[in-house]
């Protein structure tokens, strides 16, 4: 990070020190627009990937903003003592070492609702694309429309039983969008959040897997959920069932999923997220049967992109200046 030094006249020496926020260099697109809008703070964009350079990069800064750039323990321990808050532009927290932030006294704020409807609509879009075999039918037309397309088996959409594993903000929004479209909506969530009207709560994971034509994942990636979609989970799903994942790739054992697809036990998988991103060219998923992929973009719309930048920066600056936020959620409340 480069800092331009300017001469300060003695008459202005008592002016307040500006709030400095360091933003990961790949976080947002319209840098100049953000700099112009957030004139109550100084925004510096820089590379935050190397812990060895973070102390100098964040010297004098009150906050740090990241999207998917990891902040592991080494990164957080290397932050300058002036850093009081980390703004996570997004929902998931698996890229930030929360224990290290807590130990350092740094507040962590995320934005769990900036793209709720976008992710939910993407889940529905993937579900319908997969279930209606849209990708294969598109290829069939482009390759000459010769013979008969592969259509069966294909249940009517209004006969589908959709099981939501996780029913927080996005799971509930997905249920609302599916209401009136599919035959039945089930939800499994140990936290027992309130459910939209018409959604049936299921108390056991195994039960929802056995009953659902489509299983849609809406869970955070934690120590408890990492790799939970394994051979046993997939084996408990109905033969021919479909899997949709717009949450985190680390929930899924991708080797086991590819095997379940190739064996024919699962009818297909639609994924927006992967354990390692970008997806490796050697991933078994690339050659697995009946798959639809998108590149971790479920949360995107013009509206959500604006919200992501503006809500995160607003909250980070507000916390740095007044220990208050307007839009997001305080995940760790630090004492710096």
Model confidence over 230-270: pLDDT tens digits?
Answer: 999 999 999 999 999 999 999 999 999 999 999 999 999 99
- Is 248 among the catalytic positions? yes
Mean pLDDT value across the chain: 94
pLDDT of residue 16 exceeding 90: no
Contact partners, residue 44, CB within 8 Å, separation at least 6: 1, 3, 20, 21, 22, 23, 57, 61
From 277, 303, 333, 336, active-site residue = 277
Query: Is the Cβ–Cβ distance between 245 and 126 less than 8 Å?
Result: no
CB-count burial class (<10 Å; 0-12, 13-18, 19+) for 12: exposed
Phi, psi dihedral angles at 303 (to 5 degrees): -65, -50
**Is residue 12 reached through a cis peptide bond, with omega within 30 degrees of 0 on the bond before it?**
no
pLDDT of residue 176 exceeding 60: yes
Query: Is the Cβ–Cβ distance between 48 and 69 less than 8 Å?
Result: yes
Q: Give the pLDDT mean for 96-113.
A: 98
Here the tokens at position 57 are 């990069």
Query: Is the Cβ–Cβ distance between 51 and 74 less than 8 Å?
Result: yes
What are the start and end residues of each CATH 3.40.50.720 domain in the chain? 10-114+302-332, 116-293
pLDDT of residue 1 exceeding 50: no
User: Residue 133 — very low, low, confident or very high, per pLDDT cuts 50/70/90?
Assistant: very high
From 133, 169, 248, 307, active-site residue = 248
What is the distance between the alpha carbons of residues 67 and 90, in angstroms, rounded to a whole number? 6
What is the distance between the alpha carbons of residues 240 and 236, in angstroms, rounded to a whole number? 11
Q: Give the pLDDT mean for 91-96.
A: 94
Q: Give the pLDDT mean for 202-209.
A: 98
| CATH top class, domain 10-114+302-332 | alpha beta
- Is 218 among the catalytic positions? no
pLDDT at position 165 is: 98
Model confidence over 278-289: pLDDT tens digits?
Answer: 999 999 999 999
- Is 26 among the catalytic positions? no
pLDDT at position 2 is: 45
Contact partners, residue 66, CB within 8 Å, separation at least 6: 24, 27, 48, 86, 87, 88, 89, 95, 96
User: pTM for the complete prediction?
Assistant: 0.89
pLDDT of residue 274 exceeding 70: yes
**Is residue 278 reached through a cis peptide bond, with omega within 30 degrees of 0 on the bond before it?**
yes
pLDDT at position 42 is: 96
CATH topology of domain 116-293: Rossmann fold (3.40.50)
């Amino acid at each position: 990070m480069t800092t331009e030094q300017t001469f300060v006249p003695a008459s202005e020496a008592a002016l307040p020190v500006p709030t400095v926020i360091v933003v990961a260099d790949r976080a947002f697109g319209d840098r100049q627009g953000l700099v112009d809008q957030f004139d109550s703070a100084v925004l510096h964009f820089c590379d935050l990937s190397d812990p060895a350079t973070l102390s100098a990069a964040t010297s004098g800064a009150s906050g740090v903003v990241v999207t998917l750039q990891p902040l592991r323990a080494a990164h957080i321990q290397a932050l300058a003592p002036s850093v009081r808050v980390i703004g996570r532009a997004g929902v998931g927290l698996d890229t930030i070492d929360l224990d290290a932030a807590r130990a350092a006294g740094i507040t962590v704020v995320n934005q769990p609702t900036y793209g709720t409807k976008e992710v939910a609509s993407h889940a529905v879009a993937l579900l319908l694309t997969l279930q209606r075999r849209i990708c294969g039918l598109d290829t069939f037309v482009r390759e000459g429309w010769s013979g008969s397309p592969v259509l069966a088996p294909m249940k009517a959409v209004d006969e589908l039983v959709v099981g939501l594993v996780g029913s927080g903000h996005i799971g509930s929004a997905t249920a609302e969008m599916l209401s009136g479209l599919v035959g039945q909506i089930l939800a499994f969530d140990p936290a027992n959040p309130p459910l939209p009207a018409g959604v049936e709560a299921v108390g056991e994971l195994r039960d929802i897997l056995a009953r659902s034509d489509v299983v849609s994942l809406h869970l955070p990636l934690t120590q408890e959920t990492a790799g939970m979609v394994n051979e046993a989970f997939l084996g408990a799903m109905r033969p021919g069932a479909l899997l949709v994942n717009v949450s985190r790739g680390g929930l899924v054992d991708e080797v086991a999923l590819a095997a379940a697809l190739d064996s024919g036990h699962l009818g297909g998988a639609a994924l927006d997220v992967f354990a390692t991103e970008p997806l490796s060219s050697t991933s078994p998923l690339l050659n697995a049967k009946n798959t639809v992929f998108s590149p971790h973009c479920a949360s995107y719309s013009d509206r959500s992109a604006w919200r992501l930048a503006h809500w995160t920066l607003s909250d980070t600056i507000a916390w740095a200046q007044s220990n208050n936020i307007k839009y997001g959620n305080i995940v760790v409340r630090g004492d710096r």
